[in-house]
Chains A and B, each alone.
Chain A
């Protein structure tokens, strides 16, 4: 039987101290050392630029014509939507090219799988890292939003986990998709057909009620719509329990479906 007495005199490996998926998470954190500066800078500049250009610039034009959007200034309306949309972009980015790299280019997953780590540890560790990164970015974003004076409620604190959830809800199904791909062509299609339309038409920049009637239910069925709606309710303090819980439930369900699918596609790809 396997019962190695570890030389450092702690628990045997079966009672390992660090859960396997956390060891995977630690790899990403380690690798992040080389990019964190540029990452933090981008995370800070992105909301500043967007809120300045779209919120203040375009916003003054909007305010001039319609005074308020859903009862608030345009900048205030826009900011929580952008938070959710940014979370989507990060969740999607981090579950496409990095997954392809870990399978084909750098082969990180195979290095991990030659050790006691299992496919599930590798998957959960990767998704956990995406969640960690999302929480960094969302924190900075919320701080910038506060500086722009768009935060209207203490519930905005909960917009942080909501943004993480929005990002992860994209990350798990896209990880499942990425693990089936032979090259990065499919990612470009995902951007063109899914992410960019979602970014533009999910209520981030204008209320979905502005869309033609037949398009509204379609927009309301997309995950980003729910992420944006949840984020906006929390940041503006306009909290109604039913839609809020429904939005959260939608995103949690998508996350779980994505995880189940990714578990399958990861196994099919990595264990042959």
Chain B
């Protein structure tokens, strides 16, 4: 499927004819290598304060063309504040931020002209139709109506909303509204798509459909910046990510490298009897590391089955045991001492 959505390989180059977009980002990979020295987004010592509250506390990151970059962290970690600064909707309190080579404080409108934002809270016009929402939004970018209609066809197809084009937004499901918000953010053919918790509040089926669509965009070379508190989302969609906690970056890397660095290959999860104490001592020596949660014990080891055997030999009274691979959730737990979703 062809979409009118591409990461322009040069800032000055958009498709020459609206109706026929070029093959999408033909050289995203090579472009990514060639511009490695010049990130699309660059933050140094970035701070966001609200009065005396420090939401973002001096973070550094670089995001490159064609990359899918994630901010993983629990609610209140500072992800949304960071996104709003990148989207030039919220002024930087301290530090430097460059987006597409420009300073948001000076060239906010120019940067926003090249960004697509999918905010955490939908801001669709519920009384207007699906198509009208796209047209209105495209007009904000001063794109001619004719061009918007042309793009809208493809975007509605992409968002699986073609048959709802003329229905009002209000009765649409949460998943449909999210997909429309994404389609709307793409109507300006942005160089950069920012998604703030794109799947929060959606049912599993709607989430998977959305992931599939984002995966297609990624495959077409669109640069994605995603925040999420779902580790599976981060693992599926992000080439590279930072783990945020309390306004700071706790770690950075690819999902795989983070797991390798901060966790073991496997995890043995034991559901422990209620009110049991002294668990760590009873399990000492079995695994590289033991984490005790309210209801479960996690044993980090490279061989989960062997660990389970050892647990059985010690006659530890678990209710249920599960051997699984390490995930970003384990990385987060290791780095912050708490789970992603409380």
Contact = CB atoms under 8 A, between A and B. Distances in A.
A271 B18 contact: no
Given A8-B144, A26-B139, A272 B110 contact: no
Nearest to A117: B140
A46 to B, nearest CB: 23
Interface stretch (B24-32, B126-134, B262-270, B272-280): B126-134
Interface string A25-59: 01100110010000000000000000000000000
Contacts of B110: 2, 13-14, 116
Contacts of A118: 108-109
Interface residues of A, number: 35
B109 A117 contact: yes
Interface in A61-110: 106-108, 110
Given A2-B107, A13-B113, A110-B119, A115 B17 contact: no
Contacts of A20: 142
A3 B107 CA distance: 13
B61 interface: no
Nearest to B112: A116
A196 interface: no
Contacts of A108: 123, 125
B142 A23 contact: yes
B12 A111 contact: no
A7 B112 CA distance: 18
A210 interface: no
B121 A107 contact: yes
A13 B107 CA distance: 13
A188 interface: no
A interface majority secondary structure: loop
Contact of B117 (A23, A24, A114): A114
A27 B136 contact: yes
B114 interface: yes
Contact of A31 (B107, B125, B142, B144): B125
Contacts, number: 105
Given A2-B107, A2-B110, A30-B136, A115 B12 contact: no
B339 interface: no
A112 B140 contact: yes
Most chain B CB within a 10 A radius of its CB, from A13, A17, A108, A115: A115
B123 A107 contact: yes
Contact of A4 (B14, B109, B135, B147): B14
B183 to A, nearest CB: 13
A147 interface: no
A193 interface: no
A4 B127 contact: no
B242 interface: no
B11 interface: yes
B17 A18 contact: no
Contact of B128 (A3, A26, A30, A271): A30
B109 A116 contact: yes
Interface string A106-150: 111011111111100000000000000000000000000000000
Contacts of B91: 271
Interface of A: 1-8, 13-14, 16-18, 20, 23-24, 26-27, 30-31, 34, 106-108, 110-118, 271-272
Given A3-B12, A7-B16, A116-B140, 14 more contacts: A2-B113, A4-B113, A5-B13, A20-B142, A23-B140, A24-B140, A106-B125, A107-B123, A112-B140, A114-B112, A115-B112, A115-B188, A117-B140, A118-B109
23 contacts: A3-B11, A4-B12, A5-B13, A7-B14, A7-B18, A17-B142, A23-B140, A26-B139, A31-B128, A34-B127, A106-B123, A108-B125, A111-B125, A111-B137, A112-B140, A114-B112, A114-B119, A115-B112, A115-B140, A116-B109, A116-B110, A118-B109, A271-B91
Q: 10 tightest CB-CB pairs across the interface, nearest first?
A: A107-B123, A115-B140, A111-B123, A114-B117, A116-B113, A116-B109, A2-B110, A7-B18, A16-B142, A110-B123
